[in-house]
Amino acid sequence: MVRTIRHRPLGWLRPVLGAAALLACAAPAAVAQTGFMTAIVYDDGGEPLKGATLLAENPGAFPRTLTTTSDQRGRISLVGLRSGEWTFTVEHPGFQPSQFNLPIRAGNRNARPVLIRLQRLPSIVIGGPLAGVDVKQLQEELAAADAALADDDFDTAIAGYRAALTRAPGLSSITLQLGNALRGKKDDAQAAATFEALLAVDPASGPAYCELAEIRQAQGRFDEARTLYLKAASAEPTWARPVLGLALLATAEGDAEGAVRQLKRVLGIDPQSPEADRARALLESASR
Quick check: 112 pLDDT over 50? yes
Domain assignment present for residue 92? The answer is: yes
Residue 33 binned pLDDT confidence (cut-offs 50, 70, 90): low
Quick check: 102 pLDDT over 60? yes
Tens digits of per-residue pLDDT, 220-273? 999 999 999 999 999 888 889 999 999 999 999 999 999 999 999 999 988 888
Domain assignment present for residue 288? The answer is: no
Domain assignment present for residue 13? The answer is: no
Domain tally, the chain = 1
Quick check: 11 pLDDT over 60? no
Residue 285 binned pLDDT confidence (cut-offs 50, 70, 90): confident
How many other β-carbons are positioned within 10 Å of the β-carbon of residue 262? 23
34-53 in b/e form (b: 16+ CB < 10 A) is bbbbbbbbbbbbbbbbeebb
Domain assignment present for residue 242? The answer is: no
- Can you state the percent helix, strand and coil of the chain, rounding each to 5? 50, 20, 35
Q: Report the pLDDT value the prediction gives residue 64, as an integer from 0 to 100.
A: 84
Domain assignment present for residue 282? The answer is: no
- The separation between CA 238 and the C-alpha centre of its own chain, rounded to angstroms, equals 11
Q: Of the candidates 24, 3, 28, which has an alpha carbon nearest to the alpha carbon of residue 186? A: 3
Domain assignment present for residue 110? The answer is: yes
Domain assignment present for residue 156? The answer is: no
Range of the domain at 112: 34-132
* CB distance 142 to 175 below 8 Å: no
Integer Cα distance of 118 and 136 in angstroms: 13
Quick check: 90 pLDDT over 60? yes
What's the mean pLDDT in 83-103?
89
Residue 23 binned pLDDT confidence (cut-offs 50, 70, 90): very low
Domain assignment present for residue 166? The answer is: no
CATH code: domain of residue 92: 2.60.40.1120
Q: Report the pLDDT value the prediction gives residue 233, as an integer from 0 to 100.
A: 93
